[in-house]
Homo-oligomer: A and B are copies of this chain.
Amino acid sequence: MQDSPTTITPRDTIEDAIVSGILNARIRPGTRLSENQLAGLFGVSRTRVREAMMRLETRCIVHVSPRRGWFVVEPSAEEAMMVYGARRVIEAGLLRSMRALSDEGRAAIRGHLAEEKAAMDAGDRQRLTCLMGDFHIRIAELAGNPVLIEILRDLTARTILISMLYQSDFHALQSHLGHCRIAEAMEDGDFAKAAELSIEHLDEVETGLDLTQRPDPLSELRSSLSLPPRSVPSSDGGTKTKSTTTKGE
């Protein structure tokens, strides 16, 4: 797993490096991303680092705290639910829209499941995290719609951040089995069933999260003092829903 050389800089290396780091669970949520440090690291000026950050910000992967710094997002419990909700909708819709599985598709899925199994046997948790996310991207790739692939990639990145925050222990086996069931239905050509299984699977994963504790480092203190649990974990801007709609009359 060699690190990519930072000498050649094909335009958006910084962005990709960070996303890749998150996808591989090497960058934790809340990590501070200093413009100067990154600029030094990549041998460019702050300008280009900033551009990358702006892009990542519109993808909801980092956020800026004014004059304090850039940070990898720490999704709130509410946001986490929304991300899972969006994934349920999109992935179920995607599966339902599929009609048949090509031979390469079948092979790709089987190959992926084998990789998952190998990583599980090897106990390589980082790699497993990454593969678990990739499974869903693989399906999108099968459908061959780049628009959806890109959307799911970003949602997967956010999902991994969520896992790192809220997943107390890793039910790898359970997830793997879920994937296997979905794959089976797909091989049977029963995509409606695959869609249902996909929803169930995401439900399972979501309920496997501990959405009350993690993002609040004071939770232990709070509970030992018998204070009520914080209403909304992240009280800054919250979910950003810009009103760029119609603006009718």
Contacts and interface: CB of A to CB of B under 8 A. Distances in A.
A88 to B, nearest CB: 7
Contacts of A79: 147
Given A20-B244, A55-B57, 9 more contacts: A1-B248, A4-B247, A24-B248, A82-B145, A85-B147, A89-B143, A89-B148, A127-B248, A147-B155
Q: Is the interface of A mostly helix, strand, loop or mixed?
A: helix
Contacts of A77: none
A7 interface: no
A89 B149 CA distance: 12
Interface stretch (A35-43, A130-138, A212-220, A227-235): A130-138
Nearest to A89: B93
Contact of A146 (B20, B151, B239): B239
Contacts of A244: 16, 19-20, 23, 153
Contacts of A58: 55, 58-59
Nearest to A130: B246
A115 B88 CA distance: 32
Nearest to A241: B146
B96 A248 contact: no
A87 B25 CA distance: 30
